[in-house]
Amino acid sequence: MLNIILNAILPIFSIILLGFILKWRNIIDDAFARTANLIVFNIGIPAMLLSEIARAPFSENFNLRAVICSLGSLCIVLLSSMLAVRALSIRADRRGTFLQNSIHGNIGYMAYAIAYYAIGESSFARMAILSSFLMVGQNLLSVWALTSCDPEAQVNGRKWWLVIRNIVQNPIVLTVGVAIIFAALGLKIPGPLSKGLDILAGMALPTALLLIGASLSFGAMKSMVTEILAIGTFKLLALPLVGYSLMLVSKVPGPLILPGVILLASPPATISYVMATELGGDPELAA
């Protein structure tokens, strides 16, 4: 546990703190943040996902029941959080981000890092394949939540058209879909392209963490206590518990249960902030 804290969690929060300090010192300004968001959302994170998922061996690590249970738990918790939106009277401009953060976990950074130390490198391939399907589910539902709850979309009567358009055009959803096809067919990314993807991937999460730190407003957090506590309950407790229960009932093989629970229990994703910014959500709540 100490290794996980020192080698995975502490570095993440140190980069977030650095982003906060850079914003405080006016080194990161609003113009830079907007441009960096576009680069991370459209280039950096897609490059990272394509690079990671396409390399994982598919056939020997794919389990349909584990995939169905993981995606089913997302849907169950999303429906529960939709009920909570009404029960807690969540503000209209925060609803999409509330729903998104209730199900969208930090798979690519937090879950992978923790799993590496918790289950070992030998079991990591199973997690990589399962995570690719979970990423598709998370991102599809997140785009739906952000778009369908966008007040502008509601006012203009274009809600469902915007949902479909944003899903089809979302670079993260498209990239994960392509990566799964590559992995399933056993296709290899050419060496020079693979190196280029690695370089682009290297900038994605550090930049996203800096942007999260730069967006933090502790004054604003006081007005979001209810939302933050509810998101934590759904994402960190309800989602892994529902997923674990479904996997036990469905008799998912034991070696896949722990990786699945780690994936579902990962805290809200760094890209939640980026997606909230780009798709009309509440960036402060996402951060």
Segment 190-248, tens digit of pLDDT = 888 889 998 988 888 788 888 878 877 666 566 678 888 888 899 999 999 999 999 99
Q: To the nearest whole number, what is the mean pLDDT of the chain?
A: 80
Task: Pick 264 or 41 by higher pLDDT.
Answer: 264
Task: Pick 114 or 177 by higher pLDDT.
Answer: 177
CA distance 263 to 243: 10
For the residues 78-101, what does the mean pLDDT come to?
A: 87
The 10s digit of each residue's pLDDT in 144-161 is: 888 777 665 554 555 566
CA distance 64 to 69: 9
**Domain spans in the chain, listed from the N-terminal domain onward:** 57-194+219-286
Query: Alpha-carbon Rg of the chain, whole angstroms?
Result: 18
Q: What is the pTM of this model?
A: 0.73
Q: How far is CA 144 from the centre of its chain?
A: 14
